């Protein structure tokens, strides 16, 4: 995990300049200030809003249903029951981010 995080997750700004000169590589995949575990949280939230049963989500991420209920109670509570495909949720979030960055 640490090797993957250092090679792929961290952005260029995090790496020291001397390291970038010795070992140039493209920028990391992650926005500044994020952690790999944020992917897991995003995945769980997207799946809840898709209407996927908590038992399925718990198997996917390797945890108990009770943990999801406890830590994502707000997400579950705010869900209106309308199933929204993850692709649509991601597209909407990207559009909103672009609007914030340009306006």
Per-residue pLDDT tens digits for 32-47:
677 777 888 999 999 9
Domains of the chain, by residue range, sit at 1-35, 36-103
Per-residue pLDDT tens digits for 58-69:
999 999 999 999
Mean pLDDT in consecutive groups of 10 residues from the start of the chain, 103 residues: 61 56 58 75 93 96 95 91 91 87 74
Concatenate the DSSP letters of all residues of 36-102 into one string. Answer: THHHHHHHHHHHHHHT--HHHHHHHHTS-HHHHHHHTHHHHHH--S----HHHHHHHHHHHHHHHHH
Instruction: Say if CB 57 and CB 47 are below 8 A apart.
Output: yes
**Confidence at residue 72, expressed as pLDDT on a 0 to 100 scale:** 94
């Amino acid at each position: 995990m640490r090797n993957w995080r250092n090679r792929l997750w961290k952005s260029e700004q995090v790496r020291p300049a001397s390291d970038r000169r010795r070992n140039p590589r493209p920028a990391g995949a992650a926005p500044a200030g994020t952690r790999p575990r944020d992917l897991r949280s995003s995945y769980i939230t997207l799946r809840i809003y898709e209407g996927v049963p908590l038992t399925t989500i718990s198997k996917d991420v390797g945890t108990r249903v009770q943990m999801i209920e406890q830590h994502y109670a707000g997400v579950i509570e705010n869900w209106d029951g309308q199933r929204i495909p993850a692709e649509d949720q991601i597209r909407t979030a990207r559009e909103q981010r672009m609007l914030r960055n340009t306006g």
